[in-house]
A and B are shown apart, each in its own frame.
Chain A
Amino acid sequence: MSDNNNKKIIETEVPMGMVHSAAIEPYRVRLFVEDEIVRDAEITVGINHRGIERIMEGLPVEKANSLTEKICGICSNSHIWNSVLVAEKALGIEIPERASYIRIVVEELERLHSHLLYLAHGSEVLGHETFAMRLFYIRETVMELLGMIGGNRVQYGAPIIGGIRPRCDLNEMRIKKIKEGMDFLEEKVAAFADRFTSDPMIMARITGVAVLSKKDAIRLATSGPTLRATGVDIDLRRDMESYDPFEFDIITQKDGDVKSNLLVRVFEIFESIKIIRQAIGNLPPGKITNRSWGMQDTPIVKSYIEVPRGKLYHSYKLEEGRTRNVIVRTPSITNIGAMEHACIGAHITDAQLAIVQCDPCFTCTDRAIKIIRL
């Protein structure tokens, strides 16, 4: 990462990982330290690699779609949704409007629980366990709503090719419960945000720490809320067809430090609540699946969507109803550069915070790469 022209040899190295008490997920960080200031950082992933793309190769497309859900336990719906979108785009399937709305509800609920988990994890790394417990308590409401819709708290498998699964349809009782849940969330998250931003100790700890500049963020191909925290106004949700009926704002912050990263997520929670309220408020009646489609061979089709951590890419081609040449690229793999760069110049105690501020999900990342053994 450092400049090649005046490269100094830094001898002090602080390694962390593969399994380390500060990092919950297994990954390896090497911090090159000079007088307790991090001068360079290197993140190695691949410990979790299980080769999901290899397993997906040659499976019937419906099975392969269900398998993508197991890529990540946090954003499982994003993976299955994007994988289904690839098949729908390839075969030219139109989905009913009601199904599209329910997909948005599930996706935004997932964004809520992912962001709340990020804030809880961030608070824990900051050393503020009370906030972390409080956020886990708020998050439990979202998990219960997801459990109610999908039947499982973590992997709910709502989208199928042509619509959504019949068990995920929203009836009056479910809509009422989601409404109550949203009221509860809005109140509790607002109270949390008030206490968080008015706490002088927390603010002193996170302001101006681990700064990622706008220029670096663009150069390192950062995506998602980490990019928006540096002031770049890019969100794929604005370009996605499914989000056209909804009104929402794209949240940006200016500084690119830990404070901006946390605040972007806090404000995005309110935007998600707004989208869910609009979706369940004018949920169109009608069918939830379109079953009139036939299988055919297609070339490679790509699909990008905005997921809680950034931009997710899936592509495959269909041969006799089976998936071939599967590629999955998760947002964390492009954010690794940002994590390494945010560490540079920070104090060594802030290095873990600098990595956590980019919302890493290394289990996703390890699905998406292939280790070449020479």
Chain B
Amino acid sequence: MSLKSYSRARAVHVMLVYTGGCNGCDIEIVNCIFSPRYDAEQYKVFLTWNPREADVLVVTGPVTKHTEKPLKEIYNSIPEPKAVVAAGACALMGGVYKNIHGDIPSEEIAGPVDEVIPVDAKVPGCAVRPEDILSGLVATLPKLLEAK
């Protein structure tokens, strides 16, 4: 293990971005990292709101038209190596909001997250469970640690 990946493994910073979710997933993610019950901080995973110090971007919600541009900007301002986790049914396939009545697409939604930015790990669930978020974060670690 190189010195870089040794130090990266000891400070994984997670940034959470809302893109029009219902608050359910978002609070579960904050709960998972922050609360003493699940406590991802004991594995050196920290929550941050600054894209420039983030390693993992967690995106929740179907990307609404208004949040499409900010999401791309946030993604571009995260330094390499970076990983993206799409959390929740809305982020994976648009959830209940993607279509109105059958397959007529809703005009408010810019599409699921992987149509806007590249996604590395997908966490299903409505709302996501804290255990699943932890395994989603763990799934992105090889990409962060093996980067040169």
A binding-site residues for B, Cβ under 8 Å: 18-22, 24-26, 46-52, 54-55, 58-59, 67, 70-74, 76, 117, 132-134, 136-137, 139-140, 143, 152-155, 361, 363-364, 366
A55-B97 contact given A26-B67, A47-B67, CB 8 Å threshold: yes
Give B148 Cβ to nearest chain A Cβ, in Å. 30
Contact among A47, A58, A136, A363 with B36 in the assembled complex (CB-CB below 8 Å): A136
Q: Which 5 A-B pairs have the closest CB atoms?
A: A73-B24, A21-B49, A136-B35, A73-B23, A154-B127
Chain B residues closer than 8 Å to A18, beta-carbon distance = 66-67, 70
Give B139 Cβ to nearest chain A Cβ, in Å. 21
Interface pair B97/A52, CB less than 8 Å apart? yes
Give A184 Cβ to nearest chain B Cβ, in Å. 13
CA distance A58 to B28 in the complex (A): 32
* Binary interface encoding of chain B residues 5-20 relative to chain A, with 1 for a CB under 8 A from any of its CBs, else 0: 0000000000011111
A48-B24 contact given A54-B106, A70-B95, CB 8 Å threshold: no
CA distance A59 to B17 in the complex (A): 31
* Binary interface encoding of chain B residues 35-63 relative to chain A, with 1 for a CB under 8 A from any of its CBs, else 0: 11100000000000110000000000110
Give A133 Cβ to nearest chain B Cβ, in Å. 6
Give the interface centre of A51, A67, A72, A361 by most chain B CB atoms within 10 Å. A51
Is B3 an interface residue when CB atoms closer than 8 A count as contact?
no
Interface pair A67/B96, CB less than 8 Å apart? yes
Interface pair B100/A54, CB less than 8 Å apart? yes
- How many residues of B are counted as interface, with CB atoms below 8 angstroms from the partner's CB atoms? 40
> How many residue pairs at the A-B interface have CB separations less than 8 Å?
126
Contact among A24, A52, A58, A67 with B18 in the assembled complex (CB-CB below 8 Å): A24
Interface pair B64/A50, CB less than 8 Å apart? yes
Give the interface centre of B18, B21, B23 by most chain A CB atoms within 10 Å. B23
Contact among B50, B108, B127 with A50 in the assembled complex (CB-CB below 8 Å): B108
CA distance A275 to B129 in the complex (A): 29
Interface pair A24/B70, CB less than 8 Å apart? no
Is B140 an interface residue when CB atoms closer than 8 A count as contact?
no
Contact among B34, B74, B101 with A132 in the assembled complex (CB-CB below 8 Å): B34
Contact among A49, A70, A76, A361 with B96 in the assembled complex (CB-CB below 8 Å): A70
Chain A residues closer than 8 Å to B64, beta-carbon distance = 47-50
CA distance A137 to B32 in the complex (A): 11
Chain B residues closer than 8 Å to A55, beta-carbon distance = 96-97, 100-101, 106
Interface pair B26/A73, CB less than 8 Å apart? yes
Give A294 Cβ to nearest chain B Cβ, in Å. 25
Give B62 Cβ to nearest chain A Cβ, in Å. 7
A-B contact pairs, 28 of them (CB 8 A): A18-B70, A19-B18, A20-B49, A24-B30, A25-B18, A48-B64, A49-B20, A50-B20, A50-B106, A50-B108, A50-B109, A51-B108, A52-B97, A55-B100, A55-B106, A73-B21, A74-B27, A132-B34, A133-B36, A134-B36, A136-B31, A139-B35, A140-B31, A152-B127, A154-B25, A361-B23, A363-B18, A363-B23
Chain B residues closer than 8 Å to A19, beta-carbon distance = 17-18, 67, 70, 74
Chain B residues closer than 8 Å to A364, beta-carbon distance = 23
Q: Which residue of A lies closest to B17 (CB)?
A: A19
Is B116 an interface residue when CB atoms closer than 8 A count as contact?
no
Chain B residues closer than 8 Å to A67, beta-carbon distance = 96
Contact among A20, A59, A140 with B37 in the assembled complex (CB-CB below 8 Å): A140
Give B91 Cβ to nearest chain A Cβ, in Å. 13
Interface pair A73/B100, CB less than 8 Å apart? no
Chain B residues closer than 8 Å to A153, beta-carbon distance = 28, 127, 129
